[in-house]
Amino acid sequence: MENTGAATVNLNSLGVKNIKRQGGGSLVSGDLPAGGMVQLLYDGTEFQLQLGYTAPSITIPTATDPYIGIRANSAGTGYEVGPSEYSPNLVINPEIMIDQRLEGNALALAHDGVTTAISADRMKTMMAMSTFHATVQRGSALNAMRNSLVYTVVTGQASLAASNYVIPFLWRFLGYDVAHLKGEFVTAAFLFKSNVTGTFSAALISGDGQLSYVFDFSYPTAGDVVLVTKLIFIPIADVITDTTTGIGLQLLIASVAGTDRQTIYTDSWAELLVGSICSSITSTNWTTTAGNYVAVSGLHLRRGQYYIPLERGTRSDYLSSCQAYFCKTYDDGVAVGTGTNPETAVTWQSRGTYADQRDACWSFPKSMIFIPTPTVYSPSTGDAGYIYNVNLPANRAAVAGNYGKRGIEYVHMTDTTGLADYHVCTCHFTAEAEL
C-alpha cells in the first residue's frame, strides 16, 4: 500500500519509529510506493528513507495536452507536479532542436568495431557490432513534436554476439553539473516511440563507468508516443566523475547488448563488471530487421521527486547552450562542408619568418566548455583542412593556430604555393569541444 503521508515501522525491539525523508523531512504521499522496495537508515531516533524503487511510469499523450500529454494526472494515478522541487533540466537540447553538424541530414553508421559518433548536438550514438548498418537523424517520428532523434536500422542484426552492443542515444554530463545531485532523487523522463514492441532498457551510468542504474520499461503498442518517467536516487559516494574526461554522469536510452554486456541488476545501482554495458537481460533486441526504429524527444534529467513538464525553449536559447560544445561559421540550416556564406576572410601579407601565418582573431559565439579542436574548411568545396585563395583561385592546405576556449588567433597555411602579398583567403571553421 502506498503511503499518503506520515508512516512508521515497528522493527524487533526498537518499537514504533517514525519514517522520515533523508535529512529529517516529513514523508509525502507516494514516498513509499505500493509494491516497491525502500532502504531505511536508523539514526538512533527514527528511520530515514535512503533508496527507493519505483516502476517506470508510462502514459500515452493526448492531443489536448500542452506538450503531448506531459502534464500532471488530475486523477492522481499519473504524475504529480511539485513546483517546490524544481531544478533546471540538465539536458540542454531536450527538444532535439539543434543539429548544427547534420542540419537535418542523416548520419550513416556502418561499424565493425567500437565507434562513437555525434548524432546531434550534445547527443551521441555508440556501438560495437560485427556487421551493422543504421542511420540516425533529427526528424518528426514523434507525432506533433517539433523534432525528435530517430535511429533506424538499415541492415538488421538477427542476434548479438556476446560482446556486441548498440547504444542509440547517449548523453554525457560534466561532473560539476551533476555534483548537486549526489544524495538526492532525480527524475529522468523522455518521450519514446518505436515500431517494435517489447521491453526496452535505459540507464544512468557514473562518469567513471564503474556504477550503473539500469531500468526497463514496457512498450506494448507499436507507433504509440509514450512518456517514460523514472525516479532514481543518486548515491553520495559512488557516482564518481572521470578524472580524464570530466564526465560525471551518462544517460542512455534503448540500448541492446549481447550476453557479456547485459546485467541482471535492474532498478538499483550496481557495480559494473569488466565489459558490462547498460542493457538488462530481458530487453528486446529491436535491431533485428531493416526499418526498425526508435525515437526520443522531450528529455529531462533534473533533481526532485516529482515530474515537472518540460519548459519549451526557443531555438536561440538551445543554440546558445550547444555552442559551448560545438560551433560553426556555416549558415543556419546548412550542414558542415556544404555552406558558402557567411565565410571568414584574411588578407595575406608577408611577415618574414612567419610568412605562412596570418592573424585571424576569430571569436567563437560562446566560450567553449573545453579548449576545442578547430577545423578549417574551404568555402569553395567544403573540404576540411583547406582555405580558399580567391586570387589564384585555388584551395590551399591550412590549419588553425594558437586557439583557446574563446577563439582562433591565426591560420597556418601548410601549402603556400602561389601565395603572394595581399592575397585574400577565405574559409569556414568549426570548433568541437564535445565530452
The pLDDT tens digits of the residues spanning 65-106 come to 433 333 334 443 444 444 444 578 899 999 888 988 888 888
Q: Are strands 247-257 and 198-206 parallel, antiparallel or unpaired?
A: antiparallel
Q: How confident is the model at residue 203 (pLDDT cuts 50, 70, 90)?
A: very high
At 60 the pLDDT is 59
Cell of 119: 548524432
Q: How confident is the model at residue 397 (pLDDT cuts 50, 70, 90)?
A: very high
Which of 31-35, 162-166, 259-263 has the weakest average pLDDT? 31-35
DSSP-derived 3-state class of residue 179: helix
DSSP H or E run through 413 = strand 407-413
Residue 238: DSSP 8-state: T
Q: Inform me whether the pLDDT recorded for 58 exceeds 70.
A: no
Q: Inform me whether the pLDDT recorded for 246 exceeds 50.
A: yes
Which of 43-47, 192-196, 221-225 has the weakest average pLDDT? 43-47
pLDDT over 90, % of the chain: 29
Backbone angles phi, psi at 51, to 5 degrees: -125, 150
At 73 the pLDDT is 40
Distance of CA 124 to the CA centre of its chain: 7
Q: How confident is the model at residue 63 (pLDDT cuts 50, 70, 90)?
A: very low
pLDDT in tens, 107-152: 888 775 557 888 888 888 888 876 788 888 888 766 655 688 999 9
Cα(265)–Cα(190) distance, integer angstroms: 22
Q: Are 112 and 131 in contact (CB under 8 A)?
A: yes
CATH architecture for segment(s) 326-432:
Sandwich (2.60)
Cα(396)–Cα(388) distance, integer angstroms: 6
Residue with cell 536508523: 42
Q: Are strands 107-111 and 247-257 parallel, antiparallel or unpaired?
A: unpaired
Q: Where in the chain is the domain with CATH 2.60.40?
A: 326-432
CATH architecture for segment(s) 57-317:
Sandwich (2.60)
Cell of 117: 559518433
Q: Where in the chain is the domain with CATH 2.60.120.260?
A: 57-317
Cell of 252: 542512455
User: CA dihedral defined by 189, 191, 196, 201, rounded to 10 degrees?
Assistant: -10
Mean pLDDT of 34-43: 71
- Output 263 or 305, whichever has higher pLDDT: 263
Q: Inform me whether the pLDDT recorded for 194 exceeds 70.
A: yes
